[in-house]
Amino acid sequence: MTFKYMTVTGADDDTNIRGMIELSKEYNFLEWGLLFPLLGHPRFPSLEWFKKLKEEVKQKDVKLNLSAHLCFDMLDSALANKLAEDYLKGFNRVQLNFHGIDHFWLKDELEPLFKFIETNANRKIIFQFDGVNDKWILEYLDINKYPNIQYLFDTSSGAGILPNTFPMPYSGVTCGFAGGLGPDNLKDVVTTFKETLNPTKSFWIDMETRVRTKGKFDLNKVAQCAEIVAKTVWGRHPI
């Protein structure tokens, strides 16, 4: 297997930006998933915090792996191709969060989505496999035509529930796994992936609920998870 990222989603205004930067220096596989729109609520940072993050990164000349997770009206704007490019500047990956809603459109209604994928050909576009959207994703999104798409398996739709089993990933697509991952079970789950996935298969993991403490994003838990991944995947730290 080829481990790509450990994505931690839900940093917000209470999250220390310099702490994020220091952890990224130490663990180069760490990716920060930021939830949009920018509301200034728990898990959804404000525009002011977002600007500060960009300024800190620029001033310190560091590289942060960032993924934009688009929800609600921000997702609608993206699909209507009305999303300002400045929002996505610096993001290597964009996740479209349909949140378990059935978006089984007719193919001719998906043209704006196809255009968004094509317009962002330099980024990876992530689709959630949540047991609801799977059918139309597989039917309408040709991985040969759109090689920049990726799949995230999360049947809990962001609720942080560990599934009984993780599905086997589709061939030809980089896949991610989410749902209930955290410090208490991460070593066992990553070990299972290491033992069962094809050695050439690329994948990532995504955590949100279980890297929070009393509702707040917890950088100590992020560091704990990153250390577990480093030792489980590569057997050493730092990598």
Q: What is the pLDDT of residue 138?
A: 85
Q: What is the pLDDT of residue 87?
A: 84
Q: What is the pLDDT of residue 239?
A: 54
Residue 148 lies in a domain: yes
Q: What is the pLDDT of residue 105?
A: 60
Q: What is the pLDDT of residue 106?
A: 60
The CA distance from 11 to 65, in Å, is 13
Regions of the chain short of the pLDDT cut 50:
none
Domain count, the chain: 1
Enter the pTM of the model.
Answer: 0.91
71: helix, strand or coil: coil
Residue 238 lies in a domain: no
Q: What is the pLDDT of residue 154?
A: 80
Please give the structure tokens belonging to residue 24.
Answer: 């990224």
The CA distance from 228 to 199, in Å, is 20
Give the distance from CA 149 to its chain's centroid. 13
| Contact between 7 and 204 (Cβ < 8 Å) | yes
Residue 159 lies in a domain: yes
The CA distance from 155 to 165, in Å, is 11
Residue 239 lies in a domain: no
Q: What is the pLDDT of residue 158?
A: 53
Give the distance from CA 85 to its chain's centroid. 19
Residue 43 lies in a domain: yes
Domain ranges, residue 186: 2-233
Specify the CATH number for the domain of residue 209: 3.20.20.70
Q: What is the pLDDT of residue 155?
A: 62
The CA distance from 45 to 36, in Å, is 8
% of the chain residues with pLDDT over 90? 56
